[in-house]
Amino acid sequence: MRMNKKFSLYFFIAFIFISFGSAYVVIAKNAWRSKDAKAESLSENKKKDSQEKTTASAVPIPTSESTVADTASNPDVSTVVPATTTASVSGEEYPVHKNISTTYFWAGEEADADNKNISNLPSAWDEDWVKHFGGIDTPDKRNGYNPAGFTPKENPFYFALPYNDFNEKGKQKNDAVALAMWSQGKTFGAQQSMCKNQWIKITKNGKTVYAQWEDVGPFGEDDKAYVFGNATPVSKENKHAGLDVSPAVHDYLSLGDIDKTDWQFVDATDVPDGPWKKIMTTSQIFWR
């Protein structure tokens, strides 16, 4: 039977569409197979990278304690405090010590019964404290927050806490790095204290003053559970006194001979402007 030309044309067009459609399906399948293969390969590479990173992170990092121990055995070696020793801390994360019995003392105070025969002519970190301060910081004769008669060479806003990062042999204690949280990422020489010059804020009746750590006291030199934690001061002297402050701090807060305050460590960058920043102490350990 003969087909007319119009029908033949339709048949030819249909044949072309069917042929191209089949070819497209084959090409599409191959493309998807190639895509799946690439995805599988990428997944394997990611898995391999993850395993390598996990293995690398499992490599032990030298602890700060071993670093300090090496320093203690070799006084010429500097202490490099790794930034990864503890989680980074901000001022708000330092513990707040509330209702702490607070006494006062001064550079150049002679040993007598009132201070349990503890001389403050030297400090724990400076054998010539009075000389480096500029004179005796007497509480009886004042010129504002400074002693009368001379301008101090070091900050008159200072304090003492019952912890020393050096032992009686002049070696840095093994636990100093872990305790002094603000030391992270810093380098300290063999005769540099991590505690000296550190700032705290002290509050009484809603008024706050800032001061630098310049001595150890009022009583004891290793009360770390209190200084760096939340324990009560170990010493029972003067109603468990845990903070000794300078005449400037005493006057700024209008404290009594034995009073109660709240205090907290702060980073130097968080210390606001005030009379405590007019003269700041930067000197380090001085031992003959």
> pLDDT tens, 26-79?
444 454 454 444 445 444 544 444 444 443 333 333 333 333 333 333 444 445
Q: What is the pLDDT of residue 272?
A: 98
pLDDT of residue 162: 98
Higher pLDDT, 40 or 111: 111
Q: What is the pLDDT of residue 72?
A: 39
Q: Tokens at residue 228, please? A: 């760096």
| Predicted pLDDT at 14 | 54
pLDDT at 157: 98
What is the DSSP secondary-structure string of 80-132?
E--TTSS----GGGSPEEEEEEEEE--TTPPP-GGGTT---SS-SSBTTHHHH
Asked if residues 166 and 192 have their Cβ atoms less than 8 Å apart, the reply is: no
Assess whether pLDDT exceeds 50 at residue 215: yes
Nearest to 97 by CA among 201, 178, 10: 201
| pLDDT bracket for residue 17 (50, 70, 90) | low
Query: Which pLDDT value is given to residue 26?
Result: 44
- Of the two residues 233 and 72, the one the predictor is more confident about is 233
> Count of CB atoms within 10 A of residue 285's CB?
17
Domain residue ranges in the chain: 1-51, 81-277
> Is the pLDDT assigned to residue 93 strictly greater than 90?
no
How confident is the model over 156-178, as pLDDT tens digits? 999 999 999 999 999 999 889 88
Q: In the chain, pLDDT over 90 holds for what percent of residues? A: 58
In CATH terms, 81-277 corresponds, of 3.30.300.160, 2.40.40.10, 2.60.40.790, 3.40.630.30, to 2.40.40.10
pLDDT at residue 11, rounded to an integer: 52
Q: Which residue has the higher pLDDT, 32 or 213?
A: 213
Mean pLDDT over the full length of the chain: 78
The answer on pLDDT for 135 being more than 70 is yes
